[in-house]
Amino acid sequence: MSGTGSRDGTSQRRWQRGDQMLWTYTNPTHPGLYDQRPVTVIADDEKHLAVWLESGTRMLHQVLADGSGIRTADGPARFGAPRAQGLKRWQGPGIVAVFQPGADYSVWYFATPSGRRDSFYINLEEPFTRFDRGILTSDHVLDIVVDAQGRYQLKDEDELEFARAAGMFSDEKAARIRSAADSAIEDIRAWTFPFDSDYPDFRPDPAWPMPELPAAATWDFES
């Protein structure tokens, strides 16, 4: 696993605020390719792991075999067509991401015109595991967006169907993902942690250096 390191005896340690680590998505349909984001740890305790992704961070992402963006493929090919490893910079503003042990979604905080990070992106994914240099999970395609007024909306239901048709998920797994989305919506309505946290007002420490990909990371296309 070049670029992610290996699991070993240190894999269960907690990180300290200011540590740098690798927020990593594997993709069982495209083994050996990663979405990997070097990030800075904000907090790591029994309840949650919070990380900061700085705008402009160089990160690994997946592209089609010819280097074009995955979203240029339509239908099931968006998930089933051969892929390659890409490198890009995180173009958007910095985000806070919160992971909870055993949870099948992470919560990303995006800034809104108010200046607060009070728009939420709920990314459905496998509960995270730790490895020596970061965390591993895999994406479940379906997402939920919540605006600053607390209004929520499912996103990419059509893509979940494409992914199922491409063989990325079984019928049963796709049904479990939809039901995980229903549970996440219940959490939003109940405004449980981390929605009720003060992360919308988080400010990164200006002294934190920009985290880098591992020196051993490789890619086929850079954009």
Residues forming contacts to Mg ion in the complex (CB under 5 A) are 123, 139, 143
On whether the CB atoms of residues 3 and 216 are closer than 8 A, the answer is: yes
Residue in the structure block whose two tokens are 């985000």? 95
The secondary structure of 113-126 as a DSSP string is TTSS--EEEEEEEP
Report the residue number, 126 or 132, with the smaller CB distance to Mg ion.
Answer: 126
Report the residue number, 126 or 220, with the smaller CB distance to Mg ion.
Answer: 126
Report the residue number, 123 or 137, with the smaller CB distance to Mg ion.
Answer: 123
On whether the CB atoms of residues 135 and 128 are closer than 8 A, the answer is: yes
Residue 206: CB minimum distance to Mg ion, A: 30
The neighbouring-strand residues paired with 145 are 121, 153
Report the residue number, 40 or 123, with the smaller CB distance to Mg ion.
Answer: 123
Residue 2: CB minimum distance to Mg ion, A: 24
Report the residue number, 15 or 51, with the smaller CB distance to Mg ion.
Answer: 51
Residue 123: CB minimum distance to Mg ion, A: 4
Residues 6 or more apart whose Cβ sits within 8 Å of residue 147: 112, 119
The secondary structure of 204-218 as a DSSP string is --TTPPPP---TT--
Residue 19: CB minimum distance to Mg ion, A: 25
- For residue 41, give the nearest of 89, 97, 92 by alpha carbon: 97
Residue 18: CB minimum distance to Mg ion, A: 27
